[in-house]
Amino acid sequence: MSTFTVVNPATEQPVTDVPLASVDDTDAAIERAQEVFPAWRDVAPGERAALMRRFARVVDEHVEELAEIEVRNAGHTWGNATWEAGNVRDCLNYYSAAPERLFGRQIPVAGGIDVTFHEPLGVVGVIVPWNFPMPIFGWGVAPALASGNTVVVKPAELTPLTAVRIGELALEAGLPEGALTVIPGKGSVVGQRFVTHPLVRKVCFTGSTEVGKQIMAGCADQVKRCTLELGGKSANVIFADADLAAAAAAAPYAVFDNAGQDCCARSRILVERPAYDEFLGLLESSVKAMAVLDPADRDSEMGPLISAQQRERVQEYIDEVDVAFTGPAPDGPGFWMPPTVVLAESTEQRIWREEVFGPVVAVLPFDDEGDAVAKANDSEYGLSGSLYTNDVGKALRVARGIEAGNLSVNSHSSVRYWTPFGGYKQSGLGRELGPDAPNAFTEEKNVFIAH
């Protein structure tokens, strides 16, 4: 069996070897998930809810351990890794309320009654990327299990360790063997098999837009359901009337969190012309003050990139442009790169148009509200974005005008497990999280009963 050596991105030291599943291993796991499906579907709603809550409780008891694994495997800061493990627990708890609330409807008809049912799909495949191994695992797994599906998960090759551990915790919590199976392996082998195996009824994919398009095309062959959470090039729009100090203090965290390896990274900053110079001065101070440290240090605010390959990919973008200023970065081993600010010269530059997925932000001035919305929308992506203004009317108009799934006003963050998350345009298809997520893992069946 082939294996993959997991490397600590902050030290470049090997952490452990993980066996990679073959197509046959994947088929066996999918078939097992299908065998277990009828029993899991038929678990009484209150009992499935109790099992989900017990799963959440066991994850809660292991938050520190899971965070420690993620710090070593993904180079995430302690603060982030602890939040991420807690997010899995919270997602499980939130969706543990779903089994008893998978409501259908009663629709008025002549000659009888008409009712609808939400019925689980069967086996669901979740393909997870390396940038947020724990949250993205939980966002797919928790609502899918809650609505009565069995789940197979392919973690990213680079970051399988927390997924494998959470899979063990599910068994410890009493979930039946086969209800949730973690299958580490290559995207082109395990992930691709989720797409082609007829027993997998839905694929939830998070990753690059390029692979997402292949997944969607592959799913079309069996009219397989799919949810896609893809790339982003989100705008952070700063109006001159905003609290500029607050906006400049938040902007680095809106893009450099997780070393910029975040599909929601606000990697384009648009500043209203009269505030441009003042904002840049404030931004420079806050970028230079960032604590870019080994994530094993609990004060670290930004860690390394995930791999040497990712650092090279990001460096290619930086080599094409003039850098205005950078923040700090450690010397020595590790895939480090400082937070980097670039003044865009044209909206045609790659740095302005493409998802860099590293700690790089481009800044551009704008003239007025209409220009801000037009520039923000001048992108094939539409995942998230922020805007800073003290004018509530303008905030609403601009938030409604920007073509993106998740907008934050006077704030840099918008992903909460109890609110919907997903993209416009090439940022994705469908929504995750929020109150409706369990329904996305069901078919709605209509039944008419004659009097």
Q: Which residues bind ligand NDP (CB under 6 A)?
A: 127-131, 154, 156-157, 186-188, 191-192, 206-208, 211, 214-215, 230-231, 263, 313, 355, 357
Structure tokens at 315: 């460096």
- Buried b vs exposed e over 322-353: b needs ≥16 C-beta within 10 Å? eebebbebbeeebbbbbbbbbbbeeeebebbb
Tell me, yes or no, if 229 is annotated catalytic.
Answer: yes
Supply the DSSP symbol for 176.
P
CB of 194 to ligand NDP, least distance (A): 7
Q: Quick one: 57 or 313, whose CB is closer to ligand NDP? A: 313
Structure tokens at 336: 């480090």
CB of 18 to ligand NDP, least distance (A): 11
Structure tokens at 47: 């009992």
Q: What is residue 132's three-state secondary structure?
A: coil
Q: Quick one: 381 or 441, whose CB is closer to ligand NDP? A: 381
Q: Quick one: 231 or 338, whose CB is closer to ligand NDP? A: 231
Query: Using CA atoms, how far apart are residues 342 and 321, in angstroms rounded to an integer?
Result: 7
Query: Using CA atoms, how far apart are residues 68 and 80, in angstroms rounded to an integer?
Result: 11
Tell me, yes or no, if 91 is annotated catalytic.
Answer: no
Query: Using CA atoms, how far apart are residues 69 and 283, in angstroms rounded to an integer?
Result: 33
CB of 156 to ligand NDP, least distance (A): 4
Q: Quick one: 77 or 234, whose CB is closer to ligand NDP? A: 234
Query: Using CA atoms, how far apart are residues 275 and 115, in angstroms rounded to an integer?
Result: 58
CB of 427 to ligand NDP, least distance (A): 8
Active-site annotation holder among 70, 229, 301, 355 = 229
Q: Quick one: 216 or 296, whose CB is closer to ligand NDP? A: 216
Structure tokens at 219: 């799913």
End-to-end alpha-carbon separation of the chain, Å?
A: 61
Query: Using CA atoms, how far apart are residues 361 and 365, in angstroms rounded to an integer?
Result: 14
CB of 36 to ligand NDP, least distance (A): 23
Active-site annotation holder among 91, 204, 219, 263 = 263
Catalytic residues: 229, 263
